[in-house]
Structure 1
């Protein structure tokens, strides 16, 4: 067995109740990180709706909806030559930053809606 297969961050639960509790906590964490922290935002430029999480003024996570990814005029006009869309939209980034500054997007510590 490889060394990495023997390594574990924590020992496995010894009882079924512990395992059930761990699974429930994992589902809560997953919901918190992938859903609960995100807020809807409509781009000020194109109006498409995305989900945004601001953990600070410098850190932004974006979940693109299929409609927004397919309808963003800035993304539609660019490609890296591979046929794949180029990630990121400068107009959306500016829209999110403005929304964070004026309180339409909440930041940790209670600022925003």
Structure 2
């Protein structure tokens, strides 16, 4: 599966999303994250882990519930298939 476009239901900011499990979501901003009014109000720097928007999380969860966005079913490698970094 690849990342899918999704708009925040609150502000319309568009991101790319891939949902791997109920607790693992990848989000790629297609523009400056500070265009989101929630994130811009936090006054945090680039890379701060606290930069998140609850409305965007709700938008992603709604998209999964309504089957607009499906969870990827990627099985992680196991045993000998796990790449080793030596």
* TM-score, with structure 2 as normaliser: 0.70
Q: RCO higher in 1 or 2 (8 Å CA, sep ≥ 6)?
A: 2
Which structure is higher in strand share?
2
Structure 1: 5+ residue stretches without partners: 1-35
- Which structure has the bigger radius of gyration? 1
User: In structure 2, how many angstroms separate the alpha carbons of the residues matched to 1:70 and 1:78?
Assistant: 9
User: Superposition RMSD on alpha carbons, in Å?
Assistant: 1.8
Q: Which residue of 2 aligns with 1:57?
A: 22
Alignment of 1:39-58 (within 5 A): 39-58=4-23
Q: TM-score, normalised by structure 1?
A: 0.55
Alpha-carbon displacement from aligned partner over 1:74-98 (angstroms, at most 9, x marks no partner): 0111124xxx154111110111011
Distance (whole Å) between structure 2 residues aligned to residue 104 and residue 41 of structure 1: 9
Decide which structure has greater helix share.
1
Q: Give the 4+ runs in structure 1 shifted more than 3 A.
A: none
